[in-house]
Structure 1
């Protein structure tokens, strides 16, 4: 069965606010084919089903941030009110409040989008972990290679010539005579 709304369209309407992936009430109303005011009315009638971790209202700073990041075109897009945003659990609860076939089908598509985003984030975390591990290995290998090169340089350096004493020694008791010359020899 073909989805009513492509997952890619839904993914573009999922935002990260207060550390949670959320969707705007206006975007959900468009997807469910209801007016935003009707969606908010249903939510207010069933407010016990929407605790703070399911739904919350954006403050002015968060709205300005969304406009500045081009997440929404302007404040007018919101219709002149502070919007509500719904987490994944809140979106699931909306399907029970909006008791229509379209709401159920759109909700399925939205849940798939949230799952796909979680998978993408999981892959990115795994990739970041592997990159960090690879960087640590490379650093360790660089240190080991440096030690090897230092050892090779020491082996390649010509040995310092040993000084050989030329001459003789007279060992007598009493006065010691010593005649010798130092000369470097090449090996």
Structure 2
């Protein structure tokens, strides 16, 4: 379970897709990033644009703050944080992002026992994240129910206020009726 949590912290959302980056995958598979990328380039036909894409420099810069946060959760040691985050990626060395399908395709490219076991764990992490997004959110249902009750109460309160206004109007009308100047004969008692 710990390995799945570790993997989940390495899944990012880029361009509306949940992806893992090449250096994270290389670390999980216990190979160098360049070895992973070479294996992918040898099998380019297996990785269309919806399976793998290279980040732009803007995307890479905006994600670097996410990396520090994610890696600090894994290990608070700043040396390890700095060691795990590739800082020197610029220009043509921008990281590649692999979608869930791209990670699945990696299992056909990387055939070591470690790669196969890690690929199974990664697929489980993607499935766990998908379940979180797909399960009915009880909080949303509760909020809808509360909103409906409040709307019902608003209607009832408005009816109550209207009734009170009518009573006040009747009292004012009665008072005006009682205080009016009388006409006609007055009987002395």
Question: Do both share a fold (TM > 0.5)?
Answer: yes
Q: Quick one: distance in 2 between partners of 1:119 and 1:107? A: 18
Question: What is the match of residue 42 of structure 2?
Answer: 45
Q: 5+ residue gaps in structure 1?
A: 168-178, 182-187
Count of aligned pairs between the two proteins: 165
Task: Mark the CA change 1:99 to 1:43 in structure 2 (over 3 Å): closer, same or farther.
Answer: same
Residue 62 in 1 paired to residue 74 in 2? no
Question: When the two structures are superposed, what TM-score results if normalisation uses the length of structure 2?
Answer: 0.74
Does the 8 A contact of 2:52 with 2:96 survive in 1?
Answer: yes
Does the Cα contact within 8 Å between 1:43 and 1:97 map onto a contact in 2? yes
Match of 1:91 in 2: 103
* Aligned: 1:115 with 2:112: no
- TM-score, reference length from structure 1: 0.75
**More contact order relative to length (CA 8 Å, sep ≥ 6):** 2
Matches within 5 A, 1:1-187: 6-67=3-64, 69-72=65-68, 77=86, 79-80=88-89, 81-123=93-135, 126-127=137-138, 129-131=140-142, 133-134=144-145, 136-154=147-165, 157=168, 159=171, 160-161=173-174, 162-163=177-178, 179-180=184-185
Tell me, in whole angstroms, the C-alpha distance in 2 between the residues paired with 1:105 and 1:90: 16
Q: CA RMSD in A?
A: 2.8
Kindly indicate which of the two structures has a greater share of residues assigned to strand: 1
